[in-house]
Amino acid sequence: MSDSHRLPRWLLILIPLLLLAGWLGWQQWLGPQVPGYRLEARPLVQRVVASGEVDSQSLAQVGSEITGVIRARHVREGDSVRAGDLLLELRDEDQQARVGEVEAALDQLVQLQRPQAQAALSEARTDLQQATRERERRDELFRRQLVSAEQREQARQAEVSARTRYERAQLAARAAAVGGSDEQILRQQLAAARAALEKTRIRAQVDGVVQTRDVEPGDLVQPGKALLQIARTDSREIIVPLDEKDMGPVRLGQPALVIADAYPEQVLQARVSFIAPAIDSSRGTIDIHLELLEPADFLRQGMTVSADIRTGHREQTLVLPNDALHNRRGEQAEVLRWGSDNQVQRVPVRLGLRGTGLTEVVEGLSEGDVVIADDLAEGQRVRVRIEPMLAGEA
Protein backbone atom coordinates (compact mmCIF):
# COMPACT_ATOMS: atom_id res chain seq x y z
CA MET A 1 0.00 0.00 0.00
CA SER A 2 1.27 3.43 -0.92
CA ASP A 3 1.97 6.01 1.69
CA SER A 4 -0.89 8.12 0.30
CA HIS A 5 -3.44 5.46 1.36
CA ARG A 6 -2.12 5.03 4.88
CA LEU A 7 -4.13 6.64 7.77
CA PRO A 8 -2.17 9.07 9.80
CA ARG A 9 -0.88 7.72 13.08
CA TRP A 10 -2.71 10.36 15.05
CA LEU A 11 -5.98 9.31 13.40
CA LEU A 12 -5.42 5.67 14.39
CA ILE A 13 -5.09 6.82 18.00
CA LEU A 14 -8.00 9.24 17.87
CA ILE A 15 -10.61 6.78 16.56
CA PRO A 16 -10.50 4.37 19.61
CA LEU A 17 -10.52 7.33 21.94
CA LEU A 18 -13.61 8.71 20.23
CA LEU A 19 -15.30 5.29 20.41
CA LEU A 20 -14.45 4.97 24.12
CA ALA A 21 -15.70 8.46 24.84
CA GLY A 22 -18.90 7.70 22.99
CA TRP A 23 -19.43 4.46 24.91
CA LEU A 24 -18.75 6.18 28.24
CA GLY A 25 -21.13 8.94 27.33
CA TRP A 26 -23.81 6.41 26.45
CA GLN A 27 -23.28 4.60 29.74
CA GLN A 28 -23.49 7.90 31.60
CA TRP A 29 -26.70 8.71 29.79
CA LEU A 30 -28.13 5.28 30.73
CA GLY A 31 -27.24 5.90 34.40
CA PRO A 32 -25.50 3.84 37.11
CA GLN A 33 -26.15 0.14 37.60
CA VAL A 34 -28.27 -0.65 40.67
CA PRO A 35 -29.75 -3.90 42.10
CA GLY A 36 -33.40 -4.63 41.45
CA TYR A 37 -36.02 -7.39 41.54
CA ARG A 38 -38.48 -8.71 38.99
CA LEU A 39 -41.89 -9.25 40.56
CA GLU A 40 -43.30 -12.75 40.45
CA ALA A 41 -46.08 -14.82 42.04
CA ARG A 42 -45.12 -17.41 44.62
CA PRO A 43 -46.39 -18.92 47.91
CA LEU A 44 -46.11 -16.66 50.95
CA VAL A 45 -46.28 -17.34 54.68
CA GLN A 46 -46.60 -14.58 57.24
CA ARG A 47 -44.80 -15.49 60.45
CA VAL A 48 -44.23 -14.10 63.90
CA VAL A 49 -41.06 -15.51 65.45
CA ALA A 50 -40.20 -15.16 69.12
CA SER A 51 -38.56 -16.94 72.03
CA GLY A 52 -40.46 -18.30 75.00
CA GLU A 53 -40.35 -20.94 77.70
CA VAL A 54 -42.07 -24.16 78.69
CA ASP A 55 -44.72 -23.71 81.34
CA SER A 56 -47.65 -25.66 82.75
CA GLN A 57 -51.26 -24.57 82.84
CA SER A 58 -51.67 -26.56 86.02
CA LEU A 59 -49.12 -26.74 88.81
CA ALA A 60 -50.61 -28.90 91.54
CA GLN A 61 -49.70 -27.75 95.04
CA VAL A 62 -49.38 -30.79 97.31
CA GLY A 63 -49.99 -30.28 101.02
CA SER A 64 -51.16 -32.06 104.15
CA GLU A 65 -54.74 -32.01 105.42
CA ILE A 66 -53.61 -32.57 109.00
CA THR A 67 -50.84 -31.44 111.31
CA GLY A 68 -48.11 -34.02 111.65
CA VAL A 69 -44.45 -34.94 111.38
CA ILE A 70 -42.95 -36.29 108.15
CA ARG A 71 -41.81 -39.88 108.59
CA ALA A 72 -40.72 -40.65 104.99
CA ARG A 73 -40.33 -38.90 101.62
CA HIS A 74 -40.62 -41.05 98.48
CA VAL A 75 -39.97 -38.55 95.63
CA ARG A 76 -37.60 -35.78 94.64
CA GLU A 77 -37.46 -33.07 91.96
CA GLY A 78 -37.75 -34.40 88.43
CA ASP A 79 -39.49 -37.65 89.39
CA SER A 80 -42.46 -38.65 87.24
CA VAL A 81 -45.50 -39.64 89.26
CA ARG A 82 -48.92 -41.08 88.52
CA ALA A 83 -52.15 -40.21 90.27
CA GLY A 84 -52.31 -42.28 93.46
CA ASP A 85 -48.54 -42.67 93.92
CA LEU A 86 -47.32 -42.30 97.51
CA LEU A 87 -45.31 -39.09 97.91
CA LEU A 88 -44.94 -38.52 101.66
CA GLU A 89 -45.81 -40.32 104.90
CA LEU A 90 -46.60 -38.74 108.26
CA ARG A 91 -46.20 -40.39 111.64
CA ASP A 92 -49.45 -42.30 112.21
CA GLU A 93 -49.34 -43.87 115.70
CA ASP A 94 -52.48 -42.07 116.93
CA GLN A 95 -54.43 -42.86 113.77
CA GLN A 96 -53.37 -46.51 113.87
CA ALA A 97 -54.49 -46.75 117.49
CA ARG A 98 -57.89 -45.26 116.68
CA VAL A 99 -58.39 -47.73 113.83
CA GLY A 100 -57.49 -50.61 116.15
CA GLU A 101 -59.87 -49.33 118.82
CA VAL A 102 -62.85 -49.20 116.48
CA GLU A 103 -61.99 -52.55 114.90
CA ALA A 104 -61.94 -54.09 118.39
CA ALA A 105 -65.32 -52.55 119.19
CA LEU A 106 -66.76 -53.93 115.96
CA ASP A 107 -65.34 -57.35 116.73
CA GLN A 108 -66.83 -57.20 120.25
CA LEU A 109 -70.21 -56.35 118.75
CA VAL A 110 -70.09 -59.38 116.47
CA GLN A 111 -68.60 -61.83 118.96
CA LEU A 112 -70.23 -60.73 122.23
CA GLN A 113 -72.90 -58.04 122.13
CA ARG A 114 -74.93 -59.53 119.29
CA PRO A 115 -75.26 -63.02 120.89
CA GLN A 116 -76.02 -61.44 124.27
CA ALA A 117 -78.73 -59.26 122.75
CA GLN A 118 -80.30 -62.28 121.08
CA ALA A 119 -80.23 -64.26 124.34
CA ALA A 120 -81.75 -61.34 126.27
CA LEU A 121 -84.50 -61.06 123.64
CA SER A 122 -85.28 -64.76 123.90
CA GLU A 123 -85.44 -64.55 127.70
CA ALA A 124 -87.66 -61.47 127.60
CA ARG A 125 -89.99 -63.18 125.14
CA THR A 126 -90.31 -66.19 127.47
CA ASP A 127 -90.97 -63.94 130.49
CA LEU A 128 -93.67 -62.05 128.56
CA GLN A 129 -95.35 -65.26 127.52
CA GLN A 130 -95.38 -66.48 131.12
CA ALA A 131 -96.69 -63.13 132.40
CA THR A 132 -99.45 -63.19 129.81
CA ARG A 133 -100.54 -66.69 130.75
CA GLU A 134 -100.55 -65.74 134.44
CA ARG A 135 -102.64 -62.64 133.77
CA GLU A 136 -105.13 -64.69 131.72
CA ARG A 137 -105.35 -67.32 134.52
CA ARG A 138 -106.05 -64.69 137.19
CA ASP A 139 -108.65 -62.98 134.98
CA GLU A 140 -110.48 -66.30 134.80
CA LEU A 141 -110.18 -66.87 138.54
CA PHE A 142 -111.42 -63.36 139.24
CA ARG A 143 -114.54 -64.04 137.16
CA ARG A 144 -115.11 -67.10 139.25
CA GLN A 145 -114.47 -64.95 142.35
CA LEU A 146 -111.58 -67.17 143.44
CA VAL A 147 -109.02 -64.33 143.60
CA SER A 148 -109.29 -60.74 144.66
CA ALA A 149 -109.16 -57.74 142.35
CA GLU A 150 -105.79 -56.83 143.84
CA GLN A 151 -104.31 -60.17 142.78
CA ARG A 152 -105.69 -59.74 139.28
CA GLU A 153 -104.17 -56.24 139.10
CA GLN A 154 -100.79 -57.56 140.22
CA ALA A 155 -100.81 -60.04 137.29
CA ARG A 156 -101.68 -57.30 134.82
CA GLN A 157 -98.83 -55.05 136.07
CA ALA A 158 -96.42 -57.98 135.84
CA GLU A 159 -97.47 -58.49 132.21
CA VAL A 160 -96.93 -54.80 131.42
CA SER A 161 -93.43 -54.90 132.95
CA ALA A 162 -92.57 -58.05 131.00
CA ARG A 163 -93.80 -56.46 127.76
CA THR A 164 -91.67 -53.36 128.41
CA ARG A 165 -88.59 -55.51 129.00
CA TYR A 166 -89.35 -57.47 125.82
CA GLU A 167 -89.68 -54.31 123.71
CA ARG A 168 -86.39 -53.01 125.08
CA ALA A 169 -84.74 -56.35 124.30
CA GLN A 170 -86.16 -56.15 120.77
CA LEU A 171 -84.62 -52.71 120.29
CA ALA A 172 -81.25 -53.85 121.65
CA ALA A 173 -81.25 -56.98 119.45
CA ARG A 174 -82.26 -54.98 116.41
CA ALA A 175 -79.44 -52.47 117.05
CA ALA A 176 -76.90 -55.26 117.51
CA ALA A 177 -78.11 -57.29 114.52
CA VAL A 178 -76.25 -57.48 111.20
CA GLY A 179 -76.64 -54.08 109.53
CA GLY A 180 -78.17 -52.63 112.69
CA SER A 181 -77.57 -49.15 114.06
CA ASP A 182 -74.75 -50.24 116.37
CA GLU A 183 -72.88 -51.83 113.47
CA GLN A 184 -73.57 -48.85 111.21
CA ILE A 185 -72.19 -46.42 113.80
CA LEU A 186 -69.07 -48.50 114.36
CA ARG A 187 -68.47 -48.93 110.63
CA GLN A 188 -68.84 -45.17 110.14
CA GLN A 189 -66.35 -44.63 112.95
CA LEU A 190 -64.02 -47.18 111.37
CA ALA A 191 -64.30 -45.46 107.98
CA ALA A 192 -63.51 -42.10 109.63
CA ALA A 193 -60.54 -43.61 111.48
CA ARG A 194 -59.20 -45.18 108.31
CA ALA A 195 -59.71 -41.89 106.44
CA ALA A 196 -57.74 -40.11 109.14
CA LEU A 197 -55.04 -42.76 108.79
CA GLU A 198 -55.01 -42.33 105.02
CA LYS A 199 -54.44 -38.59 105.46
CA THR A 200 -51.03 -39.48 106.89
CA ARG A 201 -50.18 -40.87 103.44
CA ILE A 202 -49.92 -37.97 101.01
CA ARG A 203 -50.49 -39.15 97.44
CA ALA A 204 -50.32 -37.58 93.98
CA GLN A 205 -53.68 -36.42 92.67
CA VAL A 206 -52.53 -35.99 89.04
CA ASP A 207 -50.03 -37.44 86.61
CA GLY A 208 -47.02 -35.19 86.33
CA VAL A 209 -43.44 -34.33 87.21
CA VAL A 210 -42.31 -33.14 90.63
CA GLN A 211 -41.06 -29.56 90.28
CA THR A 212 -40.18 -28.55 93.84
CA ARG A 213 -40.08 -30.11 97.32
CA ASP A 214 -39.95 -28.08 100.51
CA VAL A 215 -40.02 -30.81 103.15
CA GLU A 216 -37.81 -33.51 104.61
CA PRO A 217 -38.35 -36.34 107.15
CA GLY A 218 -38.71 -34.93 110.65
CA ASP A 219 -40.33 -31.67 109.53
CA LEU A 220 -43.55 -30.58 111.20
CA VAL A 221 -46.21 -29.82 108.59
CA GLN A 222 -49.58 -28.12 108.86
CA PRO A 223 -52.58 -27.65 106.56
CA GLY A 224 -52.20 -24.80 104.10
CA LYS A 225 -48.47 -25.22 103.48
CA ALA A 226 -47.30 -26.45 100.05
CA LEU A 227 -44.93 -29.38 100.48
CA LEU A 228 -44.46 -30.39 96.82
CA GLN A 229 -45.32 -28.92 93.44
CA ILE A 230 -46.29 -31.16 90.51
CA ALA A 231 -46.54 -30.00 86.90
CA ARG A 232 -49.29 -31.90 85.12
CA THR A 233 -48.02 -33.77 82.07
CA ASP A 234 -51.28 -33.22 80.18
CA SER A 235 -51.23 -29.43 80.48
CA ARG A 236 -47.79 -28.42 79.23
CA GLU A 237 -47.74 -25.33 77.03
CA ILE A 238 -45.40 -22.67 75.68
CA ILE A 239 -45.56 -19.05 76.83
CA VAL A 240 -44.12 -16.53 74.39
CA PRO A 241 -43.68 -12.89 75.47
CA LEU A 242 -44.37 -11.22 72.12
CA ASP A 243 -43.38 -7.64 71.36
CA GLU A 244 -46.60 -5.63 71.24
CA LYS A 245 -45.78 -4.30 67.76
CA ASP A 246 -45.94 -7.87 66.42
CA MET A 247 -49.23 -8.90 68.04
CA GLY A 248 -51.56 -7.46 65.38
CA PRO A 249 -51.86 -10.54 63.12
CA VAL A 250 -51.87 -13.12 65.94
CA ARG A 251 -55.19 -14.93 66.43
CA LEU A 252 -56.46 -17.86 68.50
CA GLY A 253 -56.12 -21.21 66.78
CA GLN A 254 -53.26 -20.22 64.47
CA PRO A 255 -50.70 -23.00 63.89
CA ALA A 256 -47.17 -22.74 65.22
CA LEU A 257 -43.90 -24.64 65.25
CA VAL A 258 -41.92 -24.96 68.48
CA ILE A 259 -38.25 -25.94 68.82
CA ALA A 260 -36.52 -26.32 72.17
CA ASP A 261 -33.04 -24.82 72.22
CA ALA A 262 -31.75 -28.01 73.86
CA TYR A 263 -33.31 -30.26 71.18
CA PRO A 264 -33.07 -28.37 67.85
CA GLU A 265 -33.84 -31.51 65.84
CA GLN A 266 -37.27 -31.91 67.50
CA VAL A 267 -39.92 -29.76 65.77
CA LEU A 268 -43.24 -29.73 67.64
CA GLN A 269 -46.66 -28.79 66.30
CA ALA A 270 -48.64 -26.30 68.38
CA ARG A 271 -51.46 -23.77 68.16
CA VAL A 272 -52.26 -20.41 69.74
CA SER A 273 -54.52 -21.23 72.71
CA PHE A 274 -54.59 -17.99 74.71
CA ILE A 275 -53.71 -14.33 74.25
CA ALA A 276 -53.18 -12.32 77.43
CA PRO A 277 -55.78 -9.56 77.90
CA ALA A 278 -53.20 -6.91 78.81
CA ILE A 279 -49.74 -5.69 77.84
CA ASP A 280 -46.87 -5.97 80.31
CA SER A 281 -46.01 -2.26 80.41
CA SER A 282 -42.60 -2.85 81.99
CA ARG A 283 -41.47 -5.00 79.05
CA GLY A 284 -43.77 -3.84 76.28
CA THR A 285 -44.79 -7.44 75.57
CA ILE A 286 -47.92 -9.55 75.59
CA ASP A 287 -47.95 -13.23 76.60
CA ILE A 288 -49.06 -15.64 73.88
CA HIS A 289 -49.81 -19.22 75.02
CA LEU A 290 -49.16 -22.09 72.62
CA GLU A 291 -50.77 -25.48 73.22
CA LEU A 292 -48.65 -28.44 72.16
CA LEU A 293 -50.49 -30.84 69.84
CA GLU A 294 -48.21 -33.83 70.39
CA PRO A 295 -46.40 -35.50 73.31
CA ALA A 296 -43.04 -34.00 74.26
CA ASP A 297 -41.74 -35.78 77.33
CA PHE A 298 -38.27 -34.31 76.85
CA LEU A 299 -39.49 -30.79 77.64
CA ARG A 300 -38.85 -29.44 81.13
CA GLN A 301 -40.45 -26.62 83.09
CA GLY A 302 -38.79 -23.31 82.22
CA MET A 303 -36.93 -24.68 79.17
CA THR A 304 -36.21 -22.04 76.50
CA VAL A 305 -37.84 -22.56 73.11
CA SER A 306 -38.23 -20.77 69.78
CA ALA A 307 -41.74 -20.35 68.43
CA ASP A 308 -42.75 -19.74 64.80
CA ILE A 309 -46.42 -18.68 64.62
CA ARG A 310 -48.00 -18.82 61.14
CA THR A 311 -50.30 -15.80 61.11
CA GLY A 312 -51.21 -15.89 57.41
CA HIS A 313 -50.73 -17.88 54.21
CA ARG A 314 -51.17 -17.43 50.45
CA GLU A 315 -50.90 -20.33 48.03
CA GLN A 316 -49.86 -17.98 45.20
CA THR A 317 -49.58 -14.21 45.29
CA LEU A 318 -47.50 -11.34 43.89
CA VAL A 319 -44.56 -10.57 46.19
CA LEU A 320 -41.55 -8.29 46.41
CA PRO A 321 -38.65 -8.12 48.88
CA ASN A 322 -39.11 -6.02 52.00
CA ASP A 323 -35.98 -3.98 51.26
CA ALA A 324 -37.67 -2.62 48.12
CA LEU A 325 -40.40 -0.90 50.18
CA HIS A 326 -40.08 2.80 50.98
CA ASN A 327 -42.11 5.11 53.24
CA ARG A 328 -44.21 2.27 54.55
CA ARG A 329 -47.30 3.34 56.52
CA GLY A 330 -49.41 0.36 57.52
CA GLU A 331 -50.77 -1.19 54.32
CA GLN A 332 -49.47 1.69 52.19
CA ALA A 333 -45.93 2.08 50.83
CA GLU A 334 -43.96 3.32 47.85
CA VAL A 335 -41.67 1.46 45.48
CA LEU A 336 -39.25 2.60 42.79
CA ARG A 337 -40.24 0.97 39.52
CA TRP A 338 -37.81 0.84 36.61
CA GLY A 339 -39.57 2.22 33.55
CA SER A 340 -39.15 1.32 29.90
CA ASP A 341 -37.12 4.51 29.41
CA ASN A 342 -34.69 3.41 32.13
CA GLN A 343 -36.03 6.11 34.44
CA VAL A 344 -37.01 5.63 38.07
CA GLN A 345 -40.73 5.93 38.78
CA ARG A 346 -42.09 6.31 42.33
CA VAL A 347 -45.25 4.21 42.56
CA PRO A 348 -47.68 3.92 45.53
CA VAL A 349 -48.70 0.34 46.39
CA ARG A 350 -51.10 -1.37 48.78
CA LEU A 351 -49.67 -4.30 50.74
CA GLY A 352 -51.07 -7.53 52.16
CA LEU A 353 -49.29 -10.23 54.14
CA ARG A 354 -45.77 -9.51 55.27
CA GLY A 355 -43.41 -12.46 55.44
CA THR A 356 -39.93 -12.69 56.89
CA GLY A 357 -38.28 -11.34 53.73
CA LEU A 358 -41.14 -10.85 51.25
CA THR A 359 -44.37 -8.85 51.28
CA GLU A 360 -47.57 -9.35 49.28
CA VAL A 361 -48.44 -6.59 46.79
CA VAL A 362 -52.20 -6.17 46.44
CA GLU A 363 -52.37 -3.07 44.22
CA GLY A 364 -50.00 -0.84 42.27
CA LEU A 365 -47.73 -3.34 40.47
CA SER A 366 -48.01 -6.22 38.02
CA GLU A 367 -46.14 -9.46 37.60
CA GLY A 368 -42.92 -8.87 35.66
CA ASP A 369 -42.43 -5.29 36.86
CA VAL A 370 -38.90 -4.47 37.98
CA VAL A 371 -38.44 -2.56 41.23
CA ILE A 372 -35.26 -1.00 42.59
CA ALA A 373 -33.97 -1.64 46.08
CA ASP A 374 -31.87 1.58 46.39
CA ASP A 375 -33.57 4.84 47.36
CA LEU A 376 -33.09 7.01 44.25
CA ALA A 377 -34.58 10.23 42.94
CA GLU A 378 -37.63 9.91 40.71
CA GLY A 379 -36.76 10.36 37.03
CA GLN A 380 -33.15 9.28 37.42
CA ARG A 381 -31.86 7.01 34.68
CA VAL A 382 -30.40 3.74 35.87
CA ARG A 383 -29.40 0.33 34.67
CA VAL A 384 -30.78 -2.55 36.73
CA ARG A 385 -29.03 -5.72 37.74
CA ILE A 386 -31.76 -8.30 38.48
CA GLU A 387 -31.18 -9.98 41.84
CA PRO A 388 -32.84 -13.27 42.90
CA MET A 389 -35.59 -13.02 45.47
CA LEU A 390 -35.24 -14.70 48.84
CA ALA A 391 -36.32 -18.33 49.08
CA GLY A 392 -37.95 -20.14 51.95
CA GLU A 393 -41.10 -18.08 52.30
CA ALA A 394 -43.51 -20.92 51.54
pLDDT of residue 57: 62
385 neighbors 338 (Cβ within 8 angstroms): no
Rounded to the nearest angstrom, the gap between the alpha carbon of residue 4 and the centroid of all alpha carbons in its chain is 101
Going from the C-alpha of 7 to that of each of 2, 18, 112, the distances in angstroms are 11, 16, 148
Q: Let me know how many helices (H) and strands (E) the chain has, helices first.
A: 5, 21
CB-based burial, 46-68: b 16+ in 10 Å, e otherwise: bbbebebbbbbeebbebebeeeb
Regions of the chain where pLDDT drops below 50: 1-2, 4, 22-29, 392-394
Structural domain boundaries in the chain: 30-47+314-386, 49-56+233-311, 59-92+199-232, 93-198
350 neighbors 363 (Cβ within 8 angstroms): yes
Name the H helices within the chain. Answer: 9-30, 93-108, 114-143, 149-176, 181-198
pLDDT of residue 17: 55
What is the domain class of 59-92+199-232 according to CATH? mainly beta
Fold that domain 49-56+233-311 belongs to in CATH = Elongation Factor Tu (Ef-tu); domain 3 (2.40.30)
Fold that domain 30-47+314-386 belongs to in CATH = 2.40.420
Residue 270 pairs in a beta bridge with 256, 292
Whole-angstrom distance, CA of residue 370 vs CA of residue 40: 10
Q: Residues 6 or more apart from 226 whose CB is under 8 A from it? A: 61, 62, 63, 214
pLDDT of residue 18: 54
Whole-angstrom distance, CA of residue 250 vs CA of residue 240: 12
pLDDT of residue 22: 47
Going from the C-alpha of 100 to that of each of 70, 97, 178, 194, the distances in angstroms are 22, 5, 21, 10
250 neighbors 69 (Cβ within 8 angstroms): no
pLDDT of residue 343: 85
pLDDT of residue 235: 64
pLDDT of residue 128: 93
Q: Do domains 30-47+314-386 and 59-92+199-232 have the same CATH topology?
A: no
Whole-angstrom distance, CA of residue 96 vs CA of residue 103: 11
52 neighbors 240 (Cβ within 8 angstroms): yes
pLDDT of residue 126: 94
